[in-house]
């Protein structure tokens, strides 16, 4: 007859280690687990973007640039995206309600699938044409946006543009 105790013990230890992933774990004064340090090898030119990145990295315990796949910095007062290209594995990016006018940096964030840039000050959407994986884009509320030719964003299946582009 098999005893369920070893299986239960393994499950319990696994759960405890998972809950303690931000702490060193020792057994008999011997370290058996040390968490990876948080990712710090980046710098954003905009202080508001820097704060948003720091907060997200800390809350999600991100230890490498490639682990950051979703970032939401809504209404954060961001003006510049310089430094964001470090996170080229981003798949979803929400920068709605900021003061961004230049998005050329986004051409280097080549894994982007969803991009929310509503209510900013974007003029030129053409850097987005470089993004092969881009599926969903929201540019509504950008009053000075030069309306893109639909061919430039052909791969985008969900495109939301400002009202003046509806013609």
Residue 93, SS3? strand
Provide CATH code, domain 47-165: 3.80.10.10
pLDDT at 15: 46
Whole-number average pLDDT of the chain? 86
Answer whether 74's CB lies under 8 Å from 52's CB.
Answer: no
pLDDT, tens digit, 9 for 90 and up, residues 29-44: 666 555 678 899 899 9
DSSP category for residue 30? E
Alpha-carbon torsion, ordered 162, 163, 166, 167, to 10 deg: -120
DSSP category for residue 133? T
Q: Could you give the angle at the alpha carbon of 68 between the alpha carbons of 47 and 102, nearest 5°?
A: 45
pLDDT at 166: 82
N-term to C-term CA, the chain: 76
pTM recorded for the entire structure? 0.79
Answer whether 164's CB lies under 8 Å from 144's CB.
Answer: no
Question: Is pLDDT larger for residue 64 or for residue 8?
Answer: 64
Answer whether 165's CB lies under 8 Å from 145's CB.
Answer: yes
DSSP category for residue 137? E
Answer whether 69's CB lies under 8 Å from 89's CB.
Answer: yes
Mean pLDDT over 43-47 rounds to 96
Token representation of residue 134: 């881009």
pLDDT at 25: 58
Answer whether 41's CB lies under 8 Å from 64's CB.
Answer: no
């Amino acid at each position: 007859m098999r005893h369920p105790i070893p299986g239960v013990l393994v499950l319990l230890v696994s759960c405890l280690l998972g809950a303690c992933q931000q702490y060193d774990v020792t057994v008999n004064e011997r370290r058996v687990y040390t968490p990876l340090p948080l990712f710090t090898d980046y710098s954003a030119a905009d202080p508001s973007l820097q704060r948003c990145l720091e907060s997200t990295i800390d809350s999600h315990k991100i230890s490498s640039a490639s682990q950051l796949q979703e970032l939401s910095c809504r209404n954060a007062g961001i003006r510049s995206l310089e430094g964001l290209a470090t996170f080229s594995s981003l798949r979803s990016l929400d920068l709605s309600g900021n003061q961004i006018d230049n998005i050329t940096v986004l051409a280097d964030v080549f894994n982007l699938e969803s991009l929310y840039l509503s209510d900013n000050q974007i003029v030129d959407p053409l850097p987005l044409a470089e993004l092969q994986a881009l599926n969903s884009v929201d540019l509504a509320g950008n009053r000075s946006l030069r309306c893109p030719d639909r061919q430039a964003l052909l791969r985008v299946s969900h495109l939301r543009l400002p009202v003046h582009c509806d013609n």
